[in-house]
Amino acid sequence: MKILNVDQIRSLDQSTIQHEPIAPINLMERAAHTFVEWFVDHFPDTIHTKIFCGLGNNGGDGMAIARLLLEHQYPIEVYVVRYAPRESDDFMHNHRRLKLLLDSIHYIESTADIPAIRHNEVVIDAIFGSGLSRPTEGIVKDTIQAINRAPATVVSVDIASGLYTDQPNEPTDVIIEPDYTLTFQLPKLALVLPKNGPYVGNWHILDIRLHKRFIDQAPTSYYFTQPSEARLLLRKRNRFSNKGTFGHALLLAGSYGKIGAAVLSAKACLRAGVGLLTVQVPQCGYTILQTVVPEAMCSPDRHQNILTGIAPSDQAGHESLDPSDFSAIGIGPGIGKAPETLAMLKGLLPSLKKPIVVDADALNLLAENRELLNHIPPSSILTPHPKEFERLTKKWSNDYQKLDLLREFAKKNKIVVVLKGAFSAIATPDGDIHFNSTGNPGLSTGGTGDVLTGVLTALLAQGYDPVEAAVLGVYAHGLAGDQVASQRGSIGMTASDVIDALRWE
């Protein structure tokens, strides 16, 4: 699903009005209906509801929502924040209609007009939507602060009042902190950025049937992975396939004290459908791996405690590995940063031709030896969390700048970068960014990154295109986390739970 910017959303509105065709006021009515449908589903009709409206079309939505909630017998009160002398036409239209049904509409002009808000009430925030053009101030700011201080549940219409749709806010900006955001038609960039968490809450998309052809043709570099899109990426399996069909992956993982990382990666790789798996671990991990992951072959490093090289045959009779024998290689989980491990990386990278997966300490070694980035095979997948990404690039001052850095880094190095976090951002070599839609805070626990590396390596080994592997793998990994959370809650989720919950259907 595309993410469009404010100007495009405005044109989308116009395009819908012209092509459907539909009168603007009826489009507002449709938006209000969809909002109320969700609202009625989530809150009982006895709940006291205060609706705060601005004077533009977001406020117009609020007015229409108020009228529809009245029809559903909700006890409502409506407050108009009078911050300017002029109202939009569609606001005025809905204001007139509401006045016929409601004894009194309240107007907030000074702080004395701001009502007390109690904990068992719901607030609907319809002050500003996508039309926000400057920071909130004066009476709007005072009203927003009062709503934020109140113990009530807050639901924002389209986007929290005070939050820009696709540009950074200043830290001093006063913005509604909603429990829910119900956004119209398309996700907005502001909704997927980590710093905006408090100004977004749980957000949902309401389909208001805006012009589909306009959306299909609109240029964008931002996408949000929907379940149906992820499912389409999944390849059907042929009944006559054999384990050779699904590739042979090699994982280079583990060091003394971190053999668990190798185990988790290996198990996840198998659960993501790889045909054959070889894991190279330091010798201290050999027995562990052979015992805990019997499905994988294990190639012990020459070194007892760290990885030092793709093992050539030696007197001990260890078989040699040839990197080109593998359909995909994953490097990094738990490998540490020993000089010998760096030397291994330096020796290995230039010899590789196919895309690989690079994670964890392999990323930190790259950050400390950036010339190695030139040897990463094109279309490889790097999976940094924000701190690792900062080490690879530089500090950013806001999430929008971080996205620019991410895009540039992926383009310049011709790689896929999965920036992990809530709504993980996947940057492609072409400069697109796909935000993931699955996952929950339970995934912020040791080992889940190792699981992702195993999953991505398995998908590459099966021949998935690297961008598709990243989008699908990150989606499935998050979905497994959501599955665990729905069964046992997100607190106490472990990486092993996530592996068990991986499903491909």
Ligand X SMILES: NC(=O)C1=CN([C@@H]2O[C@H](COP(=O)(O)OP(=O)(O)OC[C@H]3O[C@@H](n4cnc5c(N)ncnc54)[C@H](O)[C@@H]3O)[C@@H](O)[C@H]2O)[C@H](O)CC1
Region label for 365, one of left (φ > 0), alpha (ψ between -120 and 50) or beta (otherwise): alpha
Q: How far is the CB of 305 from ligand X (least distance, A)?
A: 58
Structure-block tokens of residue 114: 């701001």
87 binds, among K ion, ligand X, none (CB under 5 to 8 A by kind): none
161 scored as a contact of K ion (CB under 5 A): yes
- For K ion (CB under 5 A), the number of binding residues is 5
Structure-block tokens of residue 267: 């198990």
185 scored as a contact of ligand X (CB under 6 A): yes
359 scored as a contact of ligand X (CB under 6 A): no
Report whether 378 belongs to an annotated binding site. Answer: no
Q: How far is the CB of 189 from ligand X (least distance, A)?
A: 14
Query: Which stretch in 66-74, 131-139, 250-258, 419-427 sits in contact with ligand X by CB under 6 A?
Result: 131-139
Phi, psi of 457 (to 5 degrees): -65, -40
Q: Cis (ω within 30 of 0) for the bond into 21?
A: yes
362's CB contacts (< 8 A; 6+ apart) are 331, 332, 335, 345
Site for K ion in 79-138 (CB under 5 A): 125, 129
Candidate residues 4, 27, 117, 433; the one interacting with ligand X per rule CB under 6 A: 27
Helix %, strand %, coil % of the chain (to 5): 45, 15, 40
Residue 459 vs residues 40, 88, 240: alpha-carbon distances, Å: 42, 52, 19
SS3 call for 76: strand
Strand partners, 426: 418, 434
Length of the chain: 505
Cα–Cα distance measured from residue 46 to residue 367, given in angstroms and rounded to the nearest whole number: 57
Candidate residues 3, 8, 13, 147; the one interacting with ligand X per rule CB under 6 A: 13
Candidate residues 157, 264, 381, 485; the one interacting with K ion per rule CB under 5 A: 157
Query: Which stretch in 128-136, 373-381, 462-470, 475-483 sits in contact with ligand X by CB under 6 A?
Result: 128-136
Q: Which CB atom, from 184 or from 222, has the smaller least distance to ligand X?
A: 184
Q: How far is the CB of 275 from ligand X (least distance, A)?
A: 47
Report whether 420 belongs to an annotated binding site. Answer: yes
* DSSP calls for 325-360: G-SEEEE-TT----HHHHHHHHHHGGG--S--EE-H
Q: Which CB atom, from 129 or from 466, has the smaller least distance to ligand X?
A: 129
Q: How far is the CB of 53 from ligand X (least distance, A)?
A: 9
Q: How far is the CB of 61 from ligand X (least distance, A)?
A: 5
Query: 57-71 vs 24-42: helix axis angle to the nearest 10?
Result: 50
Report whether 11 belongs to an annotated binding site. Answer: no
Nearest to 427 by CA among 221, 194, 226, 195: 221
450 scored as a contact of ligand X (CB under 6 A): no
Cα–Cα distance measured from residue 405 to residue 394, given in angstroms and rounded to the nearest whole number: 8
Q: Which CB atom, from 59 or from 454, has the smaller least distance to ligand X?
A: 59
156 binds, among ligand X, K ion, none (CB under 5 to 8 A by kind): K ion
27 binds, among ligand X, K ion, none (CB under 5 to 8 A by kind): ligand X
Report whether 134 belongs to an annotated binding site. Answer: yes
Structure-block tokens of residue 372: 């190695």
Cα–Cα distance measured from residue 191 to residue 70, given in angstroms and rounded to the nearest whole number: 30
Amino acid (one-letter) located at 445: T
Candidate residues 136, 153, 364, 380; the one interacting with ligand X per rule CB under 6 A: 136
128 scored as a contact of ligand X (CB under 6 A): yes
State the alpha helices, DSSP H only, in 20-155.
24-42, 57-71, 89-101, 138-149
Q: Which CB atom, from 63 or from 405, has the smaller least distance to ligand X?
A: 63
Candidate residues 15, 143, 156, 383; the one interacting with K ion per rule CB under 5 A: 156
Report whether 322 belongs to an annotated binding site. Answer: no
Q: How far is the CB of 400 from K ion (least distance, A)?
A: 21
Candidate residues 15, 34, 57, 364; the one interacting with ligand X per rule CB under 6 A: 57
Structure-block tokens of residue 330: 């994953």
- Per-position x/- string for 198-217, each x denoting binding to ligand X as judged by CB under 6 A, each - no binding: ------------x-------
Cα–Cα distance measured from residue 105 to residue 103, given in angstroms and rounded to the nearest whole number: 7
Report whether 424 belongs to an annotated binding site. Answer: yes
129 scored as a contact of ligand X (CB under 6 A): yes
Cα–Cα distance measured from residue 419 to residue 58, given in angstroms and rounded to the nearest whole number: 33
Structure-block tokens of residue 345: 């990386």
Cα–Cα distance measured from residue 459 to residue 463, given in angstroms and rounded to the nearest whole number: 7
For the beta carbon of residue 55, count every other beta carbon within 10 angstroms. 21
Report whether 299 belongs to an annotated binding site. Answer: no
Report whether 450 belongs to an annotated binding site. Answer: yes
Q: How far is the CB of 478 from K ion (least distance, A)?
A: 28
Cα–Cα distance measured from residue 82 to residue 110, given in angstroms and rounded to the nearest whole number: 9
Q: Which CB atom, from 126 or from 479, has the smaller least distance to K ion?
A: 126
125 binds, among ligand X, K ion, none (CB under 5 to 8 A by kind): K ion
Q: Do strands 106-108 and 76-81 pair parallel, antiparallel, or not at all (unpaired)?
A: parallel
Question: Which residues does the annotation place in the binding site for (6S)-NADPHX?
Answer: 57-61, 129-135, 158, 261, 334, 385, 450
Question: Which residues does the annotation place in the binding site for AMP?
Answer: 420-424, 449
List interacting residues with ligand X (CB under 6 A): 9, 13, 27-28, 31, 54, 56-61, 83-84, 88, 128-136, 140, 157-158, 184-185, 210
List interacting residues with K ion (CB under 5 A): 125, 129, 156-157, 161
Question: Which residues does the annotation place in the binding site for K(+)?
Answer: 58, 125, 161
